[in-house]
Structure 1
Amino acid sequence: MNRYLLCGTMLSAFAAASAAAQKAPAETEDSAGLSEIVVTAQKRSENLQDVPIAISAVGGDRVDALHATRLSDLTGVAPNFSVERANGAVYIRGVGGGGRNIGFGGRAGVYLDGVYIGQVASLNQTLLDIDRIEVLRGPQGHLFGRNTVSGAVNIVTRAPSNDFGGEISGGIGNSDYRSVGVQLNMPVVEDKIMAKASFGYERRDGFTRNLFNGDRTIGSLDTQSYRFGVRLKPTERLTIDLSADYMRDFSFRGGPEAISGLTGGGTIDPGAPAPFETNTNTPRFKHAKTGGTSANIDYEIGDHVLTSITAFRDSRLAIQADNDYSSADFIHTLYVDRFSQLSEELRIASPTDGRLRYVAGVFYMDETAKTRRTAFWGVAAGALGLGIPLNSSTPSSARIGTRSIAAFGSIDFDLFDQLTLNLGGRYTHERRKILFNLDGSNSGLVGIAILNNFRDEDTENRFTPSLGVTFKPAETVNIYAKYATGFKSGGWNVDFLNRNQVRDLNGDGRADFAFDTETVKSYEVGLKAEMFDRKLRTNLAAFIADYDNYQINRFYLFPGGITVIQLSNAAKVHTKGVEASIEAAPVRDLKLTFDAAYMDASFRSFPGGGAAGADASGNRLPFSPKWSGSVSAEYGIALPGMDSRLSLFGQYSYRSRTFSGQENLANQRLENRKLVNARITFAHMGSGLEFSLWGVNLTNDLFTVNRAADFLGTRFVERGEPRTYGIEAKYRF
């Protein structure tokens, strides 16, 4: 499939949609059609159908219907979008990754009320008091900047309002699940000062039992979330939104389970042969604490809006792992990472009703990332004759400072009544510095390197333009074509490096654990149409993207059987695909949704990236299924004479098989997923009471989310969650 065929496929759908839209009557207030969706994808409020971007918006009601309490629970609600529990990274159009260490960021930017929260410890946000979630697919470099080469996710919370009210909820479910939620909206001075506070708590036992001590940590939930907001309106033209949030997450939702012996021999774990069983002597945990504050100021200057977003964010992550996956005291590791970030964005937006519309701004960010990582060698390691002292350790520490300054802008100019030129660009100056210490003196034949106050720095100057045209043949039909670019910053592989990894083997003056900047060029065409009095909404997109210097983690086997994680640049990656999102309201109170995607994401050139150093060119990207999608239905029934309403919701999602590694080996294959979710809600309008039954993965589809090998070659899997279900009660006032 070439880019001309993709473009032709999209353009051929235009005529039918245009004709149907021109025949559709104008919408009336009592229409039973779909409601308008307003998004801020282009730094201003716009109708989703008018935005020349492949974008999906998930409202708070659908978040509740799916019992989605985390961003990762929304995998499947938008074409080619997932949050992989294997590495905590957001994947859009087959491209994601990052997060194992502080030197390797993600490829999809995640934003909370306009504030960048791109570090992995913060990505999987709890969905507390959510208005909507916008998923922007494709590079967003001109408006959102670095590390958005695959797309961006914009989480928008509910703003305080003049209406006093709130809700209290509680729930229970299988595996000792329980939850509590409180939301309160408080007008302090009418039209002048409004406040809002939210609290969420969720806890559940895990699904995997540790035979060593009976613990059920893997698969567990344990979160507390807090969110506060104040809206000040001193004048009609000035709005100040102050917010603060905090999340304490001690969940261990996805964890590895060995399926081989200590060094990869055999096909089962000899200490825990059954699925959902482990046998490890070291307690495993994942503790994350993240939060931030922000001040969002909007000031109307005539017909223009001046916006300032000042924010500070902080996140801490501690992970302890048993790296021998056994009851033997061989090796375990403790990672402690911390990120702190100060950012400021200042922009101005023109009126939206002129022939020329624009947004222009500047951005500043100062980020500090710190890590302390220690490998603890136990008695068993010292007894194997590897030259490792008994009960010794291998410590490491690193600090990376990043300062980013950017100027950006976008212009929409109506060449004719039906044809608009879309231009955008961003110039970014970025400087990164690293201080790295690693003491491998006790690692013996394992061969971990020694670095004493290693220092390096790198400077980046990038211009990321975008160019597009939008054609509007009818009032409710838009067709667009777009060229977009983006970049992902280079960095350093801050990990337990082998001695061979710290040498300048390439002769370029930089240590081999440094990697270069990744870039992308993307081509996209799309069609957006609303028909039949807004009873049918169809959004289609086709894309091609070419990545250069693609950054990827891969396992590399050194002589002597030692496996290390080598973070390097693959030569080239090529992705292409077609996406469809369809919503329909054929009759009153019935809403149908359909999301589907076809994608071909592969390494166009990756010599040495395959098993045993083979050529990986032509292999598929990890975690990039060719086919994926979902279909859902929601139906509301008014119960006569009871002042009550019954709501029924069901969703089926599918994802074809894929691989967890770029080698595309048989033991890296992840089977397809077929998940069924449902919710039944009874709401009594007069009392404000609401009762729900919910179920996730009702057919109990048992699937794996990861297959890989660890430090010593032990093969492991991470399993998806089996069937969960429960009841929830809610009181609205």
Structure 2
Amino acid sequence: MLNSASLRLRLLAGAALTVAIASPAFAAATPTDATPPAATPTAAAPSATDPAPTDPATADPADQTGLGDIVVTATKRETNLQKTPIAINVLSSQALTDRHVQSLYDLADGAVPSLRVATFEARQSALTIGIRGIVPLDANQPAREQGVGVYIDGVYLGRQHGLNAALFDVDRIEVLKGPQGTLFGRNTEGGALSIVTKGPSGKWGGSATGGIANYGGYNGALRLDLPEVYGVALKLDGVVQYQGATTKNPLVGQTGFNYYDRRGFKATARVHPISGMTADFSYDNGYDSNSPFYSQLLNVNPNGCVAGAQSAASACKLPGTNYTTLTGSVKPVPSQVVVNGTSRMKTADIGVPQQPSIDKTHGFTSNIRWNVAPEIELRSITAWRGVNATQYDNSGGYHRVPVVAAGCTGTACNFSRYSLADLHQNQFSQEFQAVGTVGQFDYVAGLYYFNEHISDDAATPNSLAFNSTLSTITVLDPCTGSGGFGSQPGCRSIDRASEVHSKSYAGYGQVTWNPTDTIHLTAGGRYTRDEKQGVLHYSRNLNYDTATTAQLTAAGYKPLDASWNRFNPMATLAYDASDSVHLYAKYATGYRAGGASSRTSNYQTFNPEDVKSYEIGAKTDFWGHRARLNLAGYIMDRKNSQVDISSIQTTASGSFNNLVTINAPGITKIRGIEADLTVQPVTGLTLTAGYAYTYTKIPPVLIASTGVYQNFYIVFTPRNAANGSIDYTVPVSDMDLKFHLDGNYSQATQTFDQYATKNDAAFIANARLALANIHVAGSNAVTISAWVRNLFDKQYVFRRDPSNSLPGSPTTSTTSGSISNVLGDYGNFNAPRTYGMEASVKF
């Protein structure tokens, strides 16, 4: 019998397939100021006199006769979305404005059903991004790679740190779904997220935006286009974004939770050194001060753990184990601790030391394009980028181990794990491309080089202490308070520190043969060689650089020195059944490089994983181009899936997050269906809907130490996800009144690889009302708007961690485990309703 949620979802999916859509009105035509060269690669860039395709989100309703063309660059050239045989969603600049998207984390509510964005732990400073079930739990380690490639103006970003920085004058975000291993390379198993910004126009102009919001929020953006002088066009962009804490920290002088303060600057210069050549040189610098989401204690001992003999049906069981006996006891929860699993807390139950985490990003990019001849365009993309991230995370208070009991003495009274980490990354990349058309053949060829150096360290001291009767709480000395160690630099007990050098070399090519006007056969391949050298400097306060051979042998430590070679082929057959119906079948492959876990004392290595994908799709326009329906179905088989086993291990000075990454044997199955619909039933009204069904199954893994088969899960991948939106423009005198409403649904999903425990299902709505084209000084340059995110103030747990509610790992035998640190599940609620007003002016 269907439950109500399943019934609603199926009705929504049925309605979506009945109406007729295409990529949620995230449709975006490429405007004339879009970034040129390699940032938005084109076979032949349109001239300033060429008519631009219509953008249904921004076009004058009076001039609009149907859904406009959407230009994408997924094949390294400008193509029409509907004629490009790849499953793609496009978020236009207008769509980002309507949803009040200021950073990539704002897409976590489901703007694209198959795109999943989540924080690592509760931290805003590092994001996990997944597409089609390729979602790593912890891709934030220096020697581990992400499963979805993130690009800004054609430049690959090697780390997920710094991804939540402010966005600069984005023209569109292209979500390329499915393996992109040929044109985009390694670590694009699930797809690629390509952010395209606007470049210089060479003409005087610009815009300014300012706004205020609840929680003391404000935002501002300035775009300045300067006239071309001596062959140089300059564009300047600046942004500021601020939000106060949404959960208060009772400890005086300390930062609250879910706070951010971002700012950034970007300068781009465009020159034409010789005839047929265009070169863009840009520099950007970003600063992001933020704090984590608050981690609440959701329940107490939910699995009913008690000491003594255990039955096979007992829920008090760590995955991969088969306890017959449990030892210790579950301690009572102190009276100061609030247990709340139903609503978002506005004030933390216990005040904790909490400083803002700081992310600093910077980069220089050179994009050069040269039309050598009608048949060939040469491009060069050169980039130096870096990230410096300093993490302060004390979001859990008493809601994480260690658990304190009455009668405690010394370090046994300490609690409130303060996770302190530093990461420094620098990368250099160089890519050469040749793009063109010869007769019936369209081709792309390229060479790629990537060099990355990363170092990190982390400490997790306790920051607070109970007295022996649990009646009072004191703040520990920041230098000596936690087992003789503290949180100040120079006083920390380093849990881990590592350093990695990575290099990647690749050559690729892709050719599309167009034997007729309706048949297009594409074949391509990419050869990649990856090299990694890494070392542990510290683990559990042991200096590996000065440790004895006996100490290193006891830890089982071995430096990382590995290389991998891959050839990733792809083939696509596309058929234009008519001017408005385009069909395709595609075979594609991808791979994610191997590495080592710096969260283990032996620096445990793991191998690459590989994926094969089989996909069929249809892209259709009908009803006089007033409706658009895109469908895709795919089968992906992944070999050697990298899965994580996470546990918290208590130490004298705090607690250590031990995370082992292994390769699951066998084939991981990922199956999916996607539908995107856009309908314009009357002039000025656009309706969109999207749906993604994703089935995932990792074969059970035999745990050698226990002889027990353990199930693993793909995180943050709902079986069903859907969204829809309404955009309506009404002429008011000589102005336009614009209304936007979107709703986004996601089914509950696992948030840890090894736990069946799920987060909550979610439905989030966003809205915006704007009065546009207000005439000032003879021009329609002003827009005034009001926006709201999480319109109905829905509250759901987006991350649920059961590790504190289960026994510890076996120590002396495989049949006995301790429950002395069993507390309960803890997790994080989504952001509350935020709202504000904005005014923008173009000049």
Q: Same fold (TM over 0.5)?
A: yes
Question: Secondary structure of 1:73's match?
Answer: helix
Q: Which residue of 1 aligns with 2:660?
A: 566
Deviations along 1:310-333, one digit per CA (max 9) or x if unpaired, are: 000000111123387239644433
Give the CA deviation at 1:360: 0.3
* Aligned: 1:224 with 2:257: no
Deviations along 1:462-494, one digit per CA (max 9) or x if unpaired, are: 101111211111122211111111111100101
Q: Which residue of 2 aligns with 1:494?
A: 598
Amino acid at match of 1:397: A
Question: Secondary structure of 2:96's match?
Answer: helix
* Aligned: 1:306 with 2:378: yes
Answer whether contact 2:201 2:233 (CA < 8 A) is retained.
yes
The one of 588, 595, 598 equivalent to 1:484 is 588
CA–CA distance in 2 between the matches of 1:307 and 1:426?
18
* Aligned: 1:422 with 2:522: yes
The one of 386, 390, 407 equivalent to 1:318 is 390
Alignment of structure 1 residues 629-644 onto 2, 5 Å? 629-640=722-733, 643-644=734-735
Q: Which residue of 2 aligns with 1:594?
A: 689
Q: Which residue of 2 aligns with 1:407?
A: 507
Instruction: Give the TM-score normalised by structure 2.
Output: 0.76
CA–CA distance in 1 between the matches of 2:707 and 2:251?
38
Alignment of structure 1 residues 64-463 onto 2, 5 Å? 64-75=97-108, 76-87=110-121, 88-97=127-136, 98-189=138-229, 192-213=231-252, 215=254, 217-252=256-291, 254-259=293-298, 270-274=336-340, 275-276=344-345, 277-303=348-374, 304-322=376-394, 325-326=397-398, 329-330=414-415, 331-351=417-437, 354-376=439-461, 389-391=483-485, 393-395=492-494, 396-440=496-540, 455-463=559-567
Give the CA deviation at 1:636: 1.1
Residues 195 and 527 (structure 1), Cα distance of their counterparts in 2 relative to 1, 3 Å cut: same
Question: Secondary structure of 1:210's match?
Answer: coil
CA–CA distance in 1 between the matches of 2:561 and 2:90?
39
Residues 149 and 381 (structure 1), Cα distance of their counterparts in 2 relative to 1, 3 Å cut: farther
Give the CA deviation at 1:232: 1.1
* Aligned: 1:686 with 2:775: yes
* Unmatched runs of 5 consecutive residues or more in structure 1: 1-12, 18-26, 503-510
Q: Which structure has more strand as a fraction of its residues?
A: 1
CA–CA distance in 1 between the matches of 2:596 and 2:745?
36
CA–CA distance in 2 between the matches of 1:451 and 1:592?
59
Q: Which residue of 2 aligns with 1:3?
A: none
Give the CA deviation at 1:556: 4.5
CA–CA distance in 2 between the matches of 1:46 and 1:729?
34
Give the CA deviation at 1:284: 4.6
Answer whether contact 2:664 2:699 (CA < 8 A) is retained.
no
The one of 719, 722, 728 equivalent to 2:832 is 722
* Aligned: 1:603 with 2:603: no
Give the CA deviation at 1:213: 3.4
Give the CA deviation at 1:260: 6.1
CA–CA distance in 1 between the matches of 2:593 and 2:87?
24
Amino acid at match of 2:512: D
Q: Which residue of 2 aligns with 1:514?
A: 605
Q: What percent of counterpart residues are identical?
A: 28
Residues 217 and 370 (structure 1), Cα distance of their counterparts in 2 relative to 1, 3 Å cut: same
State the superposition RMSD in angstroms. 3.3
Answer whether contact 2:162 2:389 (CA < 8 A) is retained.
no
Question: Secondary structure of 2:418's match?
Answer: strand
Answer whether contact 1:437 1:453 (CA < 8 A) is retained.
no
Give the CA deviation at 1:413: 0.8
CA–CA distance in 2 between the matches of 1:613 and 1:394?
35
Amino acid at match of 1:623: F
Give the CA deviation at 1:608: 3.8
* Aligned: 1:660 with 2:751: yes
Answer whether contact 2:158 2:427 (CA < 8 A) is retained.
no
Deviations along 1:121-153, one digit per CA (max 9) or x if unpaired, are: 132342220100000011101111111111100
Answer whether contact 1:488 1:518 (CA < 8 A) is retained.
yes
Answer whether contact 1:603 1:616 (CA < 8 A) is retained.
no
Question: Secondary structure of 2:775's match?
Answer: coil
Question: Secondary structure of 1:580's match?
Answer: strand
Q: Which residue of 1 aligns with 2:75?
A: 42
* Aligned: 1:58 with 2:91: yes
CA–CA distance in 1 between the matches of 2:338 and 2:699?
40
Answer whether contact 1:382 1:390 (CA < 8 A) is retained.
no
CA–CA distance in 2 between the matches of 1:128 and 1:264?
51
Residues 614 and 172 (structure 1), Cα distance of their counterparts in 2 relative to 1, 3 Å cut: farther
Answer whether contact 2:139 2:160 (CA < 8 A) is retained.
yes
Residues 583 and 254 (structure 1), Cα distance of their counterparts in 2 relative to 1, 3 Å cut: same
Deviations along 1:34-83, one digit per CA (max 9) or x if unpaired, are: 11111111111111112111111111011001000011212422231121
Question: Secondary structure of 2:682's match?
Answer: coil
CA–CA distance in 2 between the matches of 1:405 and 1:213?
52
Residues 732 and 671 (structure 1), Cα distance of their counterparts in 2 relative to 1, 3 Å cut: same
CA–CA distance in 1 between the matches of 2:74 and 2:349?
44
CA–CA distance in 1 between the matches of 2:704 and 2:688?
40
Q: Which residue of 2 aligns with 1:505?
A: none
Give the CA deviation at 1:375: 3.4
Q: Which residue of 1 aligns with 2:709?
A: 615
Question: Secondary structure of 2:702's match?
Answer: coil
Amino acid at match of 1:296: N
Give the CA deviation at 1:219: 1.2
Answer whether contact 2:735 2:771 (CA < 8 A) is retained.
yes
Give the CA deviation at 1:105: 1.9
Answer whether contact 2:392 2:419 (CA < 8 A) is retained.
yes
Amino acid at match of 2:631: L
Q: Which residue of 1 aligns with 2:310?
A: none
Residues 175 and 727 (structure 1), Cα distance of their counterparts in 2 relative to 1, 3 Å cut: same
Deviations along 1:76-96, one digit per CA (max 9) or x if unpaired, are: 222311211245111101221
Instruction: Give the TM-score normalised by structure 1.
Output: 0.87
Deviations along 1:198-226, one digit per CA (max 9) or x if unpaired, are: 11111111211223337552111210021
The one of 29, 32, 35 equivalent to 2:65 is 32
Question: Secondary structure of 1:521's match?
Answer: strand
CA–CA distance in 2 between the matches of 1:390 and 1:185?
56
Residues 442 and 413 (structure 1), Cα distance of their counterparts in 2 relative to 1, 3 Å cut: closer
Residues 558 and 224 (structure 1), Cα distance of their counterparts in 2 relative to 1, 3 Å cut: closer
| Higher mean C-alpha displacement, 326-335 vs 537-546 | 326-335
CA–CA distance in 1 between the matches of 2:281 and 2:461?
44
Equivalenced residues, count = 685
Answer whether contact 1:595 1:630 (CA < 8 A) is retained.
yes
Q: Which residue of 2 aligns with 1:507?
A: none
CA–CA distance in 2 between the matches of 1:125 and 1:140?
25
Answer whether contact 1:381 1:390 (CA < 8 A) is retained.
no
